[in-house]
């Protein structure tokens, strides 16, 4: 009987939290803008991973011409709307420009020449990726061996054993310690043996 009462109480709490979500969404607001959640409600809502609880980054695809000029008549109106609807970073970019820029391949000379030819300041891909990582609270780390370097993505605050588990679950179970190096040090010294 006590177990059944406990289960009914949990179901009632979940129902109430979901009704609260429904009311917020029906009012036209994203769930992330509600600031009066209890810790229990947060736990319940997080279970469902609603899209409107996620932070939002606004990518504004402009014409190549507008991107290069860094002017667009719609940007002020877009910023006004974003600010009125919870805010968030706005990154203007041009998909057409980025496609052409990426066709330069890995050649830094070709990329620099393309920027000079078009008059654009830079590609926005790095900013888009970095902003996405920041807003999702992600970081990355690298592993390297003689034949390959690999990048791994983890949640900020992840402990070293759990980060090792991203590579392979056996590594988490048998974790002893991590040897870490700053990229700047490896670049300056040449390798980890220096």
Residue-by-residue pLDDT tens, the chain, 194 positions: 778 888 999 999 999 999 999 999 999 889 998 889 999 999 999 999 999 998 899 999 999 999 999 989 999 999 999 998 888 999 999 999 999 999 998 889 999 999 999 999 999 999 999 999 999 899 999 888 788 889 999 999 999 999 999 998 888 888 888 888 888 888 888 777 76
- Domain for residue 38, yes or no? yes
Final residue belonging to a domain, choices 111, 133, 155: 133
Q: Is residue 143 part of a domain?
A: yes
Residues 124, 152, single domain; the answer is: no
Residue 194 in domain: no
Pairwise CA distance, residues 116 & 110, whole Å = 10
Residues 129 and 156 in one domain: no
User: For the chain, what is the domain count?
Assistant: 3
CA distances from 24 to 3, 29, 55 (A): 32, 6, 16
CA distance 152 to 37: 33
Among 10, 26, 53, residue at a domain's last position: 53
Same domain for 63 and 129:
yes
Q: Where are the alpha helices (DSSP H) in 27-63?
A: 39-48
Q: Based on the domain organization, do 129 and 76 belong to the same domain?
A: yes
Q: Is residue 42 part of a domain?
A: yes
Q: Are residues 154 and 178 in the same domain?
A: yes
In a domain, 156, yes or no: yes
Residue 18 lies in a domain: yes
The Cβ-side half-sphere exposure at 139, using a 13 Å CA radius, reads: 9
Q: Which two tokens stand for residue 134?
A: 């920041």
Q: Give yes or no: residues 111 and 141 share one domain.
A: no
| Other CB atoms within 10 A of residue 21 CB | 20
Q: Are 69 and 127 found together in one domain?
A: yes
Q: Do residue 67 and residue 120 come from a single domain?
A: yes
pTM of the model: 0.75
User: Same structural domain for residues 47 and 104?
Assistant: no
What domain range includes position 94?
58-133
Question: 73 and 44, same structural domain?
Answer: no
Nearest CA among 93, 87, 82, 85 for reference residue 59: 93
Specify whether 113 is located in the same domain as 169. no
In this structure, the answer to whether residues 88 and 27 fall within a common structural domain is: no
**Residue 92 main-chain phi, psi, to 5 deg:** -75, 140
Reduced to 3 states (helix: H, G, I; strand: E, B; else coil), residue 52 is helix
Give the span between the Cα atoms of 166 and 172, in whole angstroms.
8
How far is the CA of 115 from the CAs of 8, 129, 168, 183, 189, in angstroms? 63, 20, 41, 27, 32
Residue 152 lies in a domain: yes
């Amino acid at each position: 009987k006590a177990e059944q009462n406990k289960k009914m109480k949990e179901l009632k709490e979940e129902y109430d939290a979901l009704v609260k979500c429904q009311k917020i969404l029906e009012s036209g607001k994203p769930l992330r803008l509600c600031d009066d959640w209890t810790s229990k409600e947060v736990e319940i809502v997080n279970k469902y991973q609603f899209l409107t609880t996620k932070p939002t980054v606004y990518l504004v695809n402009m014409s190549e011409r507008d991107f290069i000029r860094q002017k667009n008549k719609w940007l002020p109106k877009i910023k006004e709307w974003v600010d009125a609807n919870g805010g968030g970073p706005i990154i203007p970019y041009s998909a057409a420009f980025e496609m052409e820029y990426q066709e330069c391949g890995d050649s830094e000379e070709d990329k620099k020449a393309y920027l000079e030819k078009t008059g654009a300041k830079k590609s926005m891909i790095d900013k888009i990726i970095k902003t996405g990582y920041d807003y999702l609270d992600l970081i990355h780390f690298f592993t390297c061996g003689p034949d390959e370097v690999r990048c791994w993505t983890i949640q900020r605050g992840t402990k070293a054993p759990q980060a090792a588990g991203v590579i392979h679950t056996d590594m988490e179970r048998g974790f002893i310690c991590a040897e870490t190096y700053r990229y700047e040090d490896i670049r300056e010294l040449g390798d980890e043996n220096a």
